[in-house]
């Protein structure tokens, strides 16, 4: 049986960097690796890119259970999933089924909560059913304490209301709770 593992952290914690680094290491060891990302993540087309500038191609875009079922696993040993928070509960369940029914280990990376401190659907489900959960820590953008919240900033102003998903790079900062609530 494979394993379903979740790596989470706030914006800027290095989730995508960790994914790309680990995938590269596995490929160097001649392991069979697949990289997938949600179709919803359109910030950078045809590649996965970390804030540090590391870039890699990926194998599949997924958004539905059918997309997951159409992944050709072949000799895959490890599947990496970026931005897992954007996936639905059903898609997370399908990933869980793959890990349970095959020898494929699935390493998922994403945010746990949104800019309001609320769970994303995909993150909530993977927290409920993952074999292992790991937090990647970050330092608060303002005070250098441990960052635990994702702060949305639009036109230089803190935003606490609005749609859960607003794709971007510079619109978010990882901050501690005290700095999150500061006016």
Active site residues: 83
Quote the CA–CA distance of 10 and 139 in Å, as a whole number: 9
* Alpha helical stretches, state H, the chain: 15-28, 65-69, 89-101, 121-129, 177-181
Residue 62 β-bridge partners: 38
Rounded CA gap, 164 and 75, in Å?
37
d(CA 15, CA 108): 9
């Amino acid at each position: 049986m494979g394993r379903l593992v979740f790596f989470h952290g706030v914006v800027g914690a290095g989730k995508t960097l960790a994914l790309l680094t680990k995938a590269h290491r596995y490929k160097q060891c001649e392991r069979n690796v697949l990289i997938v990302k949600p179709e919803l993540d359109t910030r950078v087309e045809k590649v996965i890119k970390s804030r540090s500038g590391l870039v890699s191609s990926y194998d599949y875009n997924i958004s539905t259970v059918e997309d997951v079922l159409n992944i050709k696993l072949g000799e895959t040993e490890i599947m990496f999933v970026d931005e897992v928070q954007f996936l639905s509960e059903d898609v997370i369940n399908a990933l869980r089924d793959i890990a349970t029914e095959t020898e494929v280990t699935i390493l998922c990376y994403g945010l746990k909560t949104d800019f309001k401190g609320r769970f994303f659907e995909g993150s909530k489900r993977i927290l409920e059913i993952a074999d292992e959960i790991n937090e990647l820590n970050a330092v608060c953008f303002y005070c250098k304490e441990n960052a635990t919240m994702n702060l949305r900033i639009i036109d230089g102003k803190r935003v606490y209301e609005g749609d859960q998903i607003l794709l971007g790079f510079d619109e978010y900062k990882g901050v501690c709770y005290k700095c999150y609530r500061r006016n």
